[in-house]
Amino acid sequence: MHGFDFTVSEEEEAVVPGRKVLVTGATGLLGRAVFREFQNNGWLVIGTGYRRARPRLLCCDLTDEDAVRGLLQEYKPNAVIHCAAERRPDVVERHTEAAVNLNVHATSTLAKEAAACAASFLYISTDYVFDGRNPPYGEDDCPNPLNVYGRSKHEGERETLRHCPGAVVLRVPVLFGEVESVTESAVTSLWLKVQEGTESCTLDHCQQRFPTDARDVAAVCRKLAERARQDPSVRGVFHFSGNEQMTKYEMAVAIAQAFKLPSDHLIPLTEQPAAAAALRPINSRLNCSRLELLNLSVQPRPFTSAVTDCLWPFTADKRWRQTVFH
């Protein structure tokens, strides 16, 4: 491990007995939201990152088995929420070995070490484990990933459940949230297209997506972790998803309308691009009934207001935040 500069004081430990959580990928889009959600709800949170870890978080290369073992043995968390992954399908296609090391092998090590220290384990997975030909997909439906990213995440699910039979796998679709730069999420990236203004710009209008706010996923993670502590039957695969079906074209138009910007330059593309680097499912809608039946779901935030919340810091005129819904 690249050294710790994070210490948990005895006082902090005393405040939250049995509520110590390790969040991997805490520098990332989802991990940041998960970190905050647990911190705001009486958990002691230990967050790890890698390239962006310093100075606030622990820096740990999760592909280093000894470092992962040391991390778990030192902090002995009660729960692990494993968000770290290489989640960009085209990058996974080009740098497969590195991505598999993180998405599969690091997951396997973490699951083993979590089981060894009796921590509950929650692995974040994706709707891309499905081929998208026969939606909606239930938790027990058979995965058939179309690209290497989806295969690596499915393999990560299997490693999780093999080493940690009491673990939870939570599959989610495309995410957005508070971003450091708009390109951090496929959804907020559309801001750049919206802003192109006069230049006409084509956007996919074939692939059906269910954009989901990372804050909602974080709330579900906390509910799952808290319930799993009391009820060992809360394990296996769960789905959570926003409930508004939209193509990228429709998301961009919704963003333009929310900010009262022109959308005439946005052109819907109704044919799949022939040379896409990694194949994507056409519609991998998730059926989320298992979470709902156990009362572990949250009401997804409406897309327009949630995405506006995330994008307002990138507007030239910050008064949008106050004025846009009034």
Query: CA-CA distance, 198 to 169, in Å (whole number)?
Result: 44
CB of 17 to ligand NAP, least distance (A): 28
Q: Of the two residues 242 and 266, which places its CB atom closer to ligand NAP in the complex?
A: 242
CB of 193 to ligand NAP, least distance (A): 17
> Residue 62, interface with ligand NAP (CB under 6 A)?
yes
> Residue 318, interface with ligand NAP (CB under 6 A)?
no
Contact 63, 80 (CB under 8 A): no
81-89, 201-209, 276-284, 312-320 -> range binding ligand NAP (CB under 6 A): 81-89
> Residue 58, interface with ligand NAP (CB under 6 A)?
no
Residues 147-206 that bind ligand NAP (CB under 6 A): 153, 172-175, 185-186
> Residue 251, interface with ligand NAP (CB under 6 A)?
no
CB atoms within 10 A of CB 109: 20
Q: Which of 85, 100, 256, 291 binds ligand NAP (CB under 6 A)?
A: 85
Q: Which of 81, 92, 119, 124 binds ligand NAP (CB under 6 A)?
A: 124
Number of residues that bind ligand NAP (CB under 6 A): 29
Q: Which of 63, 208, 245, 304 binds ligand NAP (CB under 6 A)?
A: 63
Q: Cα dist. 8→61, 118, 236, 311 in Å?
A: 20, 20, 31, 34
Of the candidates 245, 317, 20, 283, the residue with the CA atom closest to the CA atom of residue 127: 283
CB of 260 to ligand NAP, least distance (A): 27
Query: CA-CA distance, 1 to 207, in Å (whole number)?
Result: 41
Interface residues toward ligand NAP, by CB under 6 A: 25, 27-31, 49-53, 60-63, 83-85, 87, 102, 124, 126, 153, 172-175, 185-186
